[in-house]
Amino acid sequence: MKTYSNCKHASQLAMPLALLVIILFTSSCKKTGETLNEDHLSPIETQKNMAASSDVTIAAAVGSGWLAYSPTKKIHLDDENGLQIFDWTSYKSVGSPICADYRSENRTETFRIVNNKSNRSEIRLQNDYSTGSRQFEGYVTFSAPLDDESLMQIFGSTNGATQLMIRGYAADGGSIKGAGQTLATNVYGKEVHINVIHLQEDKGNRIKIYINGVKKADIADNEAVTNYMKYGNYGTLRTGTATVKWRAVKVYRDGTAPN
């Protein structure tokens, strides 16, 4: 009986000690876990946290100090009755039969002009601006038979509708032209990375175009007007269905362009 009593007493003493060890261990794990959550986020988690704010500094822009922002989108489609404007949604189409349509899926936007009843399938960004700096970035793809269709515009001009129009052509295996010069050739079916920087008169009075990270055009602005940006597929259909795809389009403001 004495032996049993001693064992029972030892067991009673050991239980609080074990409980104390468990509490200390649990507290230590919890503290470590909290530290990991705060200080050791993965790049994807960090990006998500950054994207939660309205203005986020993004490294993908050309230059420095650019802030990403998300202006409202409007879908512009033309049919035989003229311009049709829709609030942005995942998919819209108009026409009977369909003459132009727009689709958005997995960050890729597809713009089609199907027949001559339409000359437009575009996104109009509600980012009207007359001062400051803006940058458009995205990855564009088009294939035969597309010829002489606008891929991106800076709308607003004292001498016409647009200050800049970047267009796709059939010549030279598929080419991209803008600012009065050829920007790229042999691009049919190939994804092309385009950055367009617009510096209004108060920020440098320039328009700069980069193709796959290389500056291809640098022209004077010289027009004190209010501008906004459009991208997609615009022009008179020449042959077959014209399809343009834009992927991962981003818009930035208030940055500095490279020299």
Q: Note whether 98 and 14 are same-domain residues.
A: no
Do 165 and 220 belong to one domain? yes
pTM comes to: 0.76
Task: For residue 185, count other CB atoms closer than 10 A to its CB.
Answer: 14
Phi, psi of 82 (to 5 degrees): 105, -160
List phi, psi (to 5°) of 213: 85, -5
pLDDT tier at 96 (50, 70, 90 boundaries)?
low
**For 127-164, what is each residue's pLDDT tens digit?**
999 999 999 999 999 999 999 999 999 999 998 889 99
Residue 208 counted as domain residue: yes
CA distance 243 to 140: 11
The predicted-structure confidence for 247-258, as pLDDT tens digits, reads as follows: 999 999 999 999
Judge whether residue 14 has pLDDT over 50: no
Residue 51 placed within a domain: no
Say whether both 65 and 33 belong to one domain: no
Least confident of 9-13, 38-42, 200-204, 232-236: 38-42
Q: What is the pLDDT of residues 113-131, one digit of tens each?
A: 988 888 899 999 999 999 9
Let me know: does 36 contact 219? Beta carbons within 8 Å.
Answer: no
Identify whether the C-beta of residue 71 lies closer than 8 Å to the C-beta of residue 124: no
Residue 20 sits in the same domain as residue 68: no
Same domain, 19 and 79: no
Check whether 73 has a pLDDT greater than 70. yes
Q: Are residues 201 and 85 in the same domain?
A: yes
Specify if 48 maps to a domain.
Answer: no
Task: Give the domain range for residue 92.
Answer: 56-253
Residue 82 has pLDDT above 70, yes or no: yes
Residues 89 and 11 reside in one and the same domain: no
